[in-house]
Structure 1
Amino acid sequence: MKEQENQNNALKDELLHTRKNVWDTQKDREAVFAFNTDYVSFLDSSKTEREAVRNVIQLAESKGFENILTSPKNMDKLYYPLHGKSIALYRKGEKPLTEGVHILVAHVDSPRLDLKQYPVYEDQDLAMFKTHYYGGIRKYQWVSIPLALHGIFAMKDGSIKNIVIGEKDSDPVFTIADLLPHLAANAQNTKKATEFIPGEKLNILAGSLPVNDDEKQDQRFKLNILKLFKDTYGIAEDDFLSADVELVPAGKSRDVGLDRSLLGGYGHDDRVCAYTALRAILDVEKVKKPVLVFLMDKEEIGSEGASGSNTWFPEMVVGEILALEGKDSYTAIRRTLSNARCLSADVNAAVHPDWKDVHDLRNAAYINGGIVLTKFTGVRGKAGSSEANAEFVAALRKIFDENDITWHMAELGKVDEGGGGTIAKFMAYYGMQVIDAGVPVLGMHSPFEVVSKGDVYETYRAFRAIMNDE
């Protein structure tokens, strides 16, 4: 009987797949928590794509990276900024670029509220800001929470004014006042969740003091806000026309849970993958194959626009590198990109204990499951997706298992339950092998997303293992 039980157990070990928990496989908890401390510093100082890119450049330059557009002296470590909103980083390998390159691509934009071009107005003796939401937010999550204003004003003289209001303890914050439940029976409660906070009512409380005591003064509450902008920052109403100003959740990321194993904050999607990819290329030693990391803007609205992934930017970056090596040709660019292997580093939705029914639990992402691979995304029969081929998945399995990486595979919800897209399809356009890979997230697209510190560190380890592969 005992012998039969042993045989069955051996057969299970040989044939059955067992999902692992990262805390069972990762014993160096000190390293896990230390890495996440560094990540929090990056996350809390990178609440917009511009701030993220500035921080990336600072970290990269501290590691010897040089701007490819400014006659670099060191060809081994390069970066290529794009419009202050996207950036590529390059590590030279022992093998030529045209023979293959490891690519990681993540995005540094997150759902938020943007100020409109004419944002400042007054109503009922209150000064207000008009907004237009960016990305797939759930509007009701953004009311009655403290918000901070982050942005840049491009002045006519060519100067740039960077403004952050609401992050220091001494700063004021902003908010969207919700309707009280006593009056919401018809205005909100009978409507769908997507409708009871209309987009045009995501208006920000900006102040309530008049510019002076003259009750006959027209727009005196609006004028006081504009006067404060002028006195403090030298900004007039016309300057909002050439500004990129965002409202984001105010405050810092926080440890979640008594054991501090979880990390809550704004913008894990997708700065958690951006940071782990960044740290991997900064920390990795000499690489056999060249490595490229793209950190892109505009993913949350379809990767469109000059700083998004649906552009020629990968060709531009590869072309510049090949030109410095004296191999510039369109054929060489195409050959390089088609020979690449790419991880579209993006998050997936972790199973929520209270909402398990939206997942196929056999094929879902889990907190503490390590890095999650998503073979395909899309909606309604994989539409709008890039699906990785079996050979590429097999190669990744080998790399991860050889490096003791905790990982699992998942889809984004049940079939026809929903779905979504990533940058993967824009990289697949070049003929390279691509798969989505990243950190499982609870509360994705909310103002306070939650990740496992173990998953964050394991994703970093996975990215380093990819970069070390031949």
Structure 2
Amino acid sequence: MAYLDASPTAYHASANARARLEEAGFSALDEGAAWSLAAGRGYFVERNQSALIAFRVGSGCLATEGFRLAAAHTDSPAPKLKWRGAAERSGVLRIPVESYGGMLQSSWFDRPLAIAGRVALQAASGGVRWQLVSSSRPLAIIPGLAIHLNREANQGTAINVQQHLAALCGAGSFADILKELCGARPEELLDADLFLADCQPATLCGINQDILSAPRLDNLSSCQALLDALIAAPLTAATPVIFLADNEEVGSETAQGAASAFWRDTLERLCLTQGDADHETIFRALSRSFLLSVDAAHAVHPNYEEKHDPAYAPQLNRGVVIKNNASFRYSSTAVS
């Protein structure tokens, strides 16, 4: 639960994964530098401060032993601040937002919200200084309209993101928020990727404390599982690799997404570090590899049981869900 609480954005999820790997003895690699890898050693490479590939070099030849691959994603749906539009309205600071990913928009109303993400600041040297930021307290709220002013509220109300989901931050200015987040002045800010984040910590609830309530379970729970597995895994002939990708919630088609060349390029570079590698090594290695796509699954909701096929109805705390789809939305087959 600590990983969930400490990772309000994909940037923090990647940074916290990096810290865990370094603590476990894994070494950071630079995409722009030459790589020299040793069997049995752990390494990782990061892109965009939000996606990370980590692996432990196996003892065997990649061409004959292949990879053991698993992927999850660091991002979750959230309102992204359109911070340049911050302005006072009716005596309070109002910041418009846009939806990142498939947000359940109504769930963001009437709860204390932090502001988190990353900022690009003008460095004293004239370059750019990146800084991860996360408010230590709630700075915003998206209040719903009182039922006295909308008697039809319980019949369902269409939500206009631009109008209804803007964050209200009380009296003050965006300069005050920036100062609290990173101590910077507005003239130092070059750009920012800032999101609203649920402040409520991960909590166990239920009679037997067997229900985990937390934001960002999709898919930080899988990131945590893959990190635990890779760190604890013994040395094997095959090379285990995990990919904590970003931007799954918007289609994965970014430089740090699962549909990018980041993963394939990293695997090919792994092959090229072996002394007897040639241009066929990557193809031979992939043919002997296996991939798990690890993500959240929907358990049966007791209040909406009709949404599930009764013969394929996963229940909470009953084990791993293996997804199948006849149209290959998921690639599980009888062979895999």
Query: With structure 1 as the length reference, what TM-score do the two structures score?
Result: 0.65
Identify the residue that residue 81 of structure 1 maps to in structure 2: 46
Query: Over aligned residue pairs, what C-alpha RMSD do you find?
Result: 2.2
* 1:115–1:129 contact (8 Å) kept in structure 2: yes
In the other structure, the counterpart of 2:76 is 110
In structure 2, which of residues 20, 24, 29 is the aligned counterpart of residue 68 of structure 1?
29
Matching residue of 1:391? 335
Which residue of the partner structure matches residue 236 of structure 1? 186
Partners of 1:225 and 1:243 lie apart in 2 by 12
1:202-230 Cα distance to aligned partner (Å, 9 max, x none): 10111225xxxxxxxxxxxxxx4425635
Contact 1:319 1:328 in 2 (8 A): no
Distance 1:118 1:134 in 2: 17
Given the alignment, which residue of 40, 61, 65 partners 1:96?
61
- The change in CA–CA distance for 1:329 and 1:202 in structure 2 (over 3 A counts) is farther
Does 1:351 pair with 2:305? no
RCO greater where, 1 or 2, for CA within 8 Å and sep 6 or more? 2
Q: Deviations over 1:358-393 (max 9, x none)?
A: 0002112211210111123xxxx73x724322122x
Q: Is the 8 A contact 2:44 2:53 kept in 1?
A: yes
For structure 1, the 5+ residue unaligned runs are 1-39, 210-223, 393-470
Q: 1:279 corresponds to which residue?
A: 228
CA distance 1:353–1:386, change in 2 (3 Å): closer
Please give the TM-score of this superposition, normalised by the length of structure 2.
Answer: 0.89
Corresponding letter in the other structure for 1:129: I
Partner of 2:150: helix, strand, or coil? helix
Which stretch of the first structure deviates more once superposed, 260-269 or 228-237? Answer: 228-237
CA contact 1:66–1:72 (8 Å) conserved in 2: no
Residues 174, 205 of structure 1: 8 Å contact kept = yes
CA contact (8 A) 2:36 2:273 kept: no
Aligned match of 1:205: 168
CA radius of gyration, larger in:
1
When you count helix as a share of all residues, which structure comes out higher?
Answer: 1
Are 1:319 and 1:333, in contact at CA under 8 Å, matched by a contact in 2? yes
Shift of residue 190, structure 1, vs aligned partner: 5.4
Q: Is the 8 A contact 1:147 1:249 kept in 2?
A: yes
Distance 2:335 2:131 in 1: 50
Cα separation, 1, equivalents of 2:80 and 2:262:
25
Equivalent residue, structure 1, for 2:275: 326
Query: Helix, strand or coil: the match of 2:145?
Result: coil
The aligned amino acid for 2:183 is Y
Matches within 5 A, 1:42-441: 42-69=3-30, 71=35, 74-75=38-39, 76-99=41-64, 100-157=66-123, 158-165=128-135, 167=136, 171-185=137-151, 188=153, 191=156, 195=158, 197-200=159-162, 201-209=164-172, 224-227=173-176, 229-230=178-179, 233-236=183-186, 239=189, 242-326=191-275, 329-376=278-325, 382=327, 385-392=329-336
Counterpart amino acid of residue 101 in structure 1: F
Residue correspondences, number: 325
- CA drift of 1:339 comes to 2.8
Identity, in percent, stands at: 25
User: Kindly tell me: are residues 260 and 340 of structure 1, through their superposed partners in 2, closer, same or farther at Cα, counting changes over 3 Å?
Assistant: same
Residues 114 and 132, structure 1, Cα contact 8 Å, conserved in 2: yes
Secondary structure, counterpart of 1:81 in structure 2: strand
